[in-house]
Structure 1
Amino acid sequence: MSAARIDHVVLGVRDLDGAARRLLEDFGLASVFGGHHVGWGTGNLIVPLGSNYVELLGVVDEKQATQSVLGRHLLSTMEEGDRLIGWCVAVDPFDETVDRLGLTASEGSRVRPDGTTLRWRSAGLAEAMADPSRPFFISWLVPPAMHPGRTGVYHPAAPKGLAWVEVNGDEAAIRRWLGPGDEELPVRVLPGSPALVGAGIATASGNEIVLR
């Protein structure tokens, strides 16, 4: 892994607008409308944090969602209530990670409210859904200024970005999945059934916001 950073964490929610209100009221984190994922039946709101972000992911078209792997996974997962369901690592070079793990890369897109289209390549999503202690990988096909974390918004909490993620799982297996250079990533690994169990957000005050 030549270069890696945590790109975003995914908070699966049953009600996108309701979840956004709770984040603002409870933590001082504002959200912006992201868009709908073409062909997946899902949509998102974004909590921009600079170089990374929190993605609120929900089903927006249940019929379409039943026809996509991500949509079906989200429908099943949300039976247990809103919770962290995944995390994503941006890697460069992307193809090096894909080849090392024998993954299949795919392209995704969503249309932003201003009409522009965000495009990216991702890999390992199915593996990450099966074992949420593992991240999936992403490479953005847009200029850095268009990264979702760079979206302008006012947060009462003045967040400075994701500080860490915490997962339960097999540490050796997770480190192998991340590959060389994994020490760059602020990942806490605890024993237990595979899961993403927490994410910390640094703030200008020095306090941390913890999502669980």
Structure 2
Amino acid sequence: MRLDHVSYVTSHDQLADTVQRLGSRLGSTFVDGGVHPRFGTRNFTLPLQNGQYIEVVCPLDHPATEQTPWGKAVSKKAQEGGGWLTWVFATDNISKVEEKFGRSAIEGHRTRPDGSDLKWKQIGVNEIAESRELPFFIQWLTADHPSQDGKAVAAIEKITISDSDQLSDSWFKTEILAGLNGTNLEFIDPSTNDGESGIVAVDLITPSGVVRLD
């Protein structure tokens, strides 16, 4: 299990501005990731070092947006003003994760503008609706990975998370900590974050120095 990507939400109207603003701060360029037809969302991705990436995702005016856990989570965050939604860990064997959750992972896919299709399985999105400090989990089913879309110049240095329990509610705390691959975690008490749990900020090392995205 390893840290795969972090997800930042914006509205559809602000998608272009958000992608340009974040990309400019990181000295890199987002690429159009395409639409997630099953979830009613679309994204742009920015490659990072260590096989990771940032996703900027927005809800669409689509029936699936309010009918799927991911679509609803993205839509709700966008209505709250956007910002960091979640972090995601990839595994080569999602069946072990499925056993803990007691249900099957669901398949997702998105078609890039060039026509290529990315496919994966994901599980744990239901839980982030109420516990935003927790990550969810995916297994890639295609060889292509968004970290390969473009030149990676930045790397995640630290993720700051509002969670008084410091992931003790997760069945996978040990695996999560082992899969950070050098990324630091900083926990703050939700009382200092308007009582909200979840990702507060992500610090990235760039050619111009450390950039904090909050």
TM-score range, shorter chain: 0.7 to 0.9
Q: Deviations 1:141-193 (Å, cap 9, x if unpaired)?
A: 111xx10111124x7xx31x22232211111525x432433332233222213
Q: Which residue of 1 aligns with 2:157?
A: 163
Shift of 1:23: 1.4
Measured in 2, the distance between the counterparts of 1:16 and 1:204 equals 25
Measured in 1, the distance between the counterparts of 2:167 and 2:173 equals 10
Distance 1:70 1:180, change over 3 A: closer
- What code does the residue aligned with 2:201 have? G
Shift of 1:77: 1.8
Residue 178 (structure 1) aligned with residue 175 (structure 2): no
Matches within 5 A, 1:117-136: 117-136=117-136
Return 49-58 or 186-195, whichever deviates more: 186-195
Distance 1:152 1:29, change over 3 A: closer
DSSP 3-state at the match of 2:87: strand
The sequence identity of aligned pairs, in percent, is: 28
TM-score, scaled relative to structure 2: 0.84
Contact 1:12 / 1:78 at 8 angstroms: preserved in 2?
yes
Shift of 1:97: 2.3
Q: Which of 174, 191, 202 matches 1:199?
A: 202
Shift of 1:28: 2.2
Measured in 2, the distance between the counterparts of 1:69 and 1:59 equals 12
Residue 10 (structure 1) aligned with residue 7 (structure 2): yes
CA RMSD of aligned residues (A): 2.0
Contact 1:35 / 1:43 at 8 angstroms: preserved in 2?
yes
DSSP 3-state at the match of 1:183: helix
- What code does the residue aligned with 2:3 have? I
Q: Deviations 1:92-142 (Å, cap 9, x if unpaired)?
A: 332212213434311100001111110001110111222110000011111
Q: Which residue of 2 aligns with 1:149?
A: 147
Q: Aligned residue pairs: how many?
A: 201
- What code does the residue aligned with 1:43 have? R
Measured in 2, the distance between the counterparts of 1:100 and 1:180 equals 14
Q: Which runs of 5+ in 1 are unaligned?
A: none
DSSP 3-state at the match of 2:4: strand
DSSP 3-state at the match of 1:47: strand
TM-score, scaled relative to structure 1: 0.85
Q: Which residue of 1 aligns with 2:193?
A: none
Shift of 1:55: 0.4
Q: Which residue of 2 aligns with 1:55?
A: 55
